[in-house]
């Protein structure tokens, strides 16, 4: 891959030794060092004069990070209640508002709907609750069905028969036992607020996909009916909203014990008119504890945090985007985009330092035997990419492109997007190296509202997970368009308005030296975004602000003695009336508690990096040792 150097430098290989010909000799050299921020193009800072300090983001299994979703109305999603009292109270008000119908009025109403004979048969059935053998069936229209259920609601019987409808036939009978009762009639969704049951999900150390799967399993709903706005960090305590189309509260309540055992808690139930789809959020609010702070005075901490609050940080794609392996995700993506599918498969399967023993043994098996069936038997189920490639090789030997295209869509997208992110990081780092990050340049790009045309009528509703009657909360909006700045524009925009492109087949590049960096890098890497290739069709490109702000930033210092002392206070702690962590004035250790809100696709680790000044890769963080 191409590299960006200084103004007077030339473009070489971005990976340097890491992008050699990948023969065995070069691979030994290549994998001696683990991935660092520099390998991902992360090198610059907004304020280069901050001193940096030691602080541990993650220490053993002690909670250090909370993440709360921020919805489209800019409300922070929190877990405040575990019961369904609000809905129960609303249901009681709805029932109380329903007019009462006497038995004779009910009979007359049924006679008008279905005729005198059926009315008499139904009355006989209702007067015989012990008769579990008689079943009354009759055909109906949609309007008749609604009117029939409304009449039963107004009759207000203490004990109701079981009623069900299917294929235009309504069945009424007294159940023999609990199992024979069948499903309760659907609630009045419109009166309750909408067809979607929304609830808040608190999870600790659980992947998003696993949480959704468990909610579906224990609540007895289809996983595809569960909607959510975004995925959350599995290594943190997270709170987010989810929705299920036409769900019953009691099903969720019955699932609570199983979910609680898996560190998932649900509550704040409410019916809403629109379900959630991916992207229906403003961002996330982070609460992070940096333990064992040292190497800096408290005055310098104040200066560093205030600088972050005032000036923001470089909006890099964080190290999570590039994986934790010695072979980084963007390296695989690079080979795929270059259409060197054989090398991409090699990178996925080859041995690397730091692997778990089962992965290592399976990789060695593949390297030594080139037998996909034998290697596949040794890889664990968690090896999603490896197993997909090997299964494809078993059926289609040496068809490397087919093997890559057999990857699960999310994995293939991860590799491709990682390369795009890598290019963005490198270009922005070089831009700051050459021109700083305090003002826009002629030829830079900002985004402005598109011209209103009849062509732009696409709605985001009904797309993605949780679709139903009205899934999605983002109203149809016109996509913003890139504008290239002229000399006259410079006084109208600030550096916070400047965006740089994520490369793709529809990307508009800056009309200045930064644009040259993009073109030279992609040309050196031999990358052309070819939308005739099915797997590249979605790589249209996008635009990302160069700088980001940590909004609503709050912080405090707390002293403590026990390195494992709980210093985070969660929503669940508040619900169960757990005591908040308290400051020990003469405590041996100092911690910085910091909270801020970021937009979507912005990384909290990149905000912290601005003040810490050390590598935020997971392996680099793991080397930090808490003082005794």
Q: Report the C-alpha dihedral over residues 525, 528, 533, 537, rounded to 10 degrees.
A: 110
CA separation, residue 544 to residues 424, 498, 537, 608 (Å): 9, 8, 20, 19
Per-residue model confidence as pLDDT tens digits over 236-286: 999 999 999 999 999 999 999 999 999 999 999 999 999 999 999 999 999
Out of 12-16, 131-135, 479-483, 614-618, which region has the weakest mean confidence (pLDDT)?
Answer: 12-16
Per-residue model confidence as pLDDT tens digits over 12-69: 334 333 333 333 333 433 444 578 999 999 999 999 999 999 999 887 667 789 999 9
For residue 16, what pLDDT is reported? Answer: 37
Q: How many Cβ atoms sit within 10 Å of the Cβ of residue 141?
A: 10
Give the chain's domains with CATH numbers: 39-65+284-315+548-623 (no CATH), 75-83+193-272 (3.30.70.3160), 99-180 (no CATH), 324-407 (1.10.1510.30), 412-420+438-450+477-541 (no CATH)
For residue 162, what pLDDT is reported? Answer: 85
What number of CA atoms fall less than 13 Å from residue 512's CA on the CB side? 17
For residue 25, what pLDDT is reported? Answer: 31
What number of CA atoms fall less than 13 Å from residue 433's CA on the CB side? 19
The catalytic position among 71, 108, 233, 573 is 233
- Mean pLDDT computed over 570-595: 96
Per-residue model confidence as pLDDT tens digits over 356-373: 999 999 999 999 999 999
Per-residue model confidence as pLDDT tens digits over 168-223: 888 899 988 766 565 666 788 988 999 999 999 999 999 999 999 999 999 999 99
Q: At what angle do helices 513-525 and 409-435 cross, to 10 degrees?
A: 140
pTM as predicted: 0.84
* Confidence grade of residue 624 (pLDDT, cut at 50, 70, 90): confident
Burial label, 532 (beta-carbon count in 10 A; 0-12, 13-18, 19+): exposed
pLDDT at residue 435 tops 90: yes
Strand order of the sheet with strand 169-173? 135-139, 169-173, 162-166
| Cα–Cα dist 366/609, whole Å | 39
Catalytic residue status for 615: no
CA separation, residue 540 to residues 199, 344, 430, 505, 518 (Å): 35, 22, 23, 5, 16
pLDDT at residue 550 tops 80: yes
Higher pLDDT, 295 or 479: 295
For residue 297, what pLDDT is reported? Answer: 94
* Confidence grade of residue 86 (pLDDT, cut at 50, 70, 90): confident
Mean pLDDT across the chain: 88
Per-residue model confidence as pLDDT tens digits over 307-349: 999 999 999 999 999 998 899 999 999 999 999 999 999 999 9
Q: At residue 269, what are phi and psi to the nearest 5 degrees?
A: -70, 140
Contacts of 177 (CB under 8 A, 6+ apart): none
pLDDT at residue 459 tops 70: no
pLDDT at residue 479 tops 90: no
* Confidence grade of residue 383 (pLDDT, cut at 50, 70, 90): very high
Q: At CB < 8 A and 24+ separation, what contacts does 163-166 make?
A: 165/140
Per-residue model confidence as pLDDT tens digits over 395-417: 999 999 999 999 999 999 999 99
Tokens of 488: 């006259």
């Amino acid at each position: 891959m191409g590299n960006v150097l200084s103004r007077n430098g030339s473009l070489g290989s971005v990976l340097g030794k890491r992008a050699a010909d990948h023969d065995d000799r070069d691979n030994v050299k290549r994998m001696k060092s683990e991935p660092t921020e520099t390998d991902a193009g992360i090198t610059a800072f907004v304020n280069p004069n901050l001193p940096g300090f030691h602080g541990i983001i993650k220490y053993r299994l002690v909670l250090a990070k909370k993440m709360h979703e921020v919805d489209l109305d800019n409300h922070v999603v929190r877990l405040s209640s575990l019961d369904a009292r609000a809905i129960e109270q609303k249901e009681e008000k709805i029932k109380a508002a329903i007019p009462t119908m006497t038995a004779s009025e009910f009979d007359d109403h049924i006679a008008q709907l279905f005729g005198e004979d059926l009315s008499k048969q139904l009355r006989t059935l209702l007067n015989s609750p012990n008769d579990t053998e008689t079943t009354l069936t009759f055909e109906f229209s949609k309007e008749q069905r609604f009117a029939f259920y409304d009449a039963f609601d107004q009759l207000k019987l203490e004990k109701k028969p079981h009623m069900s409808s299917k294929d235009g036939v309504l069945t009424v009978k007294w159940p023999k036992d609990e199992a024979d009762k069948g499903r309760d009639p659907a609630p009045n969704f419109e009166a309750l607020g909408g067809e979607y049951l929304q609830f808040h999900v608190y999870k600790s150390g659980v992947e998003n996909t696993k949480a959704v799967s468990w909610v579906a399993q224990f609540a007895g709903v289809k996983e595809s009916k569960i909607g959510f706005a975004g995925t959350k960090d599995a290594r943190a305590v997270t709170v987010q909203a989810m929705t299920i189309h036409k769900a019953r509260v009691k099903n969720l309540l019955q699932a609570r014990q199983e979910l609680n055992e898996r560190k998932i808690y649900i509550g704040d139930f409410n019916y809403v008119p629109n379900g959630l789809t991916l992207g229906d959020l403003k961002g996330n609010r982070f609460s992070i504890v940096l333990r064992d702070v040292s190497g800096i005075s408290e005055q310098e901490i104040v200066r560093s945090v205030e600088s972050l609050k005032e000036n923001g940080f470089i909006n890099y794609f964080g190290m999570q985007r590039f994986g934790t392996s010695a072979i980084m995700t963007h390296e695989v993506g690079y080979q795929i985009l270059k259409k060197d599918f054989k090398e991409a498969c090699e990178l996925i399967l080859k041995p690397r330092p730091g692997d778990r023993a089962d992965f290592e043994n399976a990789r060695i098996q593949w390297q030594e035997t080139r037998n996909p069936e034998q290697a596949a038997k040794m890889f664990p189920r968690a090896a999603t990419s490896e197993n997909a490639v090997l299964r494809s090789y078993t059926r289609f030997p040496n068809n490397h492109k087919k093997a890559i295209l057999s990857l699960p869509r999310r994995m293939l997208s991860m590799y491709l997007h990682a390369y795009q992110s890598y290019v963005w990081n490198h270009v922005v780092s070089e831009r700051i190296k050459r021109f700083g990050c305090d003002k826009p340049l002629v030829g830079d790009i900002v985004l402005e509202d598109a011209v209103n045309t009849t062509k732009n009528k696409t709605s985001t509703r009904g797309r993605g997970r949780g679709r139903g009657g009205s899934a999605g909360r983002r109203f149809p909006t016109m996509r913003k368009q890139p504008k290239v700045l002229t000399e006259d524009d410079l006084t109208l925009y600030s550096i916070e308005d400047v965006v740089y492109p994520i490369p793709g087949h529809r990307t508009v590049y800056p009309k200045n030296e930064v644009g040259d960096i993009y073109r030279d890098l992609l040309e050196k890497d031999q990358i052309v975004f070819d939308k005739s290739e099915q797997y590249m069709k979605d790589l249209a490109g996008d635009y990302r602000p160069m700088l980001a702000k940590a909004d609503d930033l709050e912080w405090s210092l707390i002293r403590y003695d026990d390195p494992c002392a709980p210093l985070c206070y969660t929503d669940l702690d508040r619900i169960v009336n757990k005591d908040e962590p308290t400051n020990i004035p003469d405590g041996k250790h100092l911690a910085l508690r910091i909270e801020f809100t970021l937009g979507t696709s912005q990384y909290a680790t990149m905000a912290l990096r601005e003040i810490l000044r050390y590598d935020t890769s997971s392996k680099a963080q793991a080397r930090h040792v808490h003082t005794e």
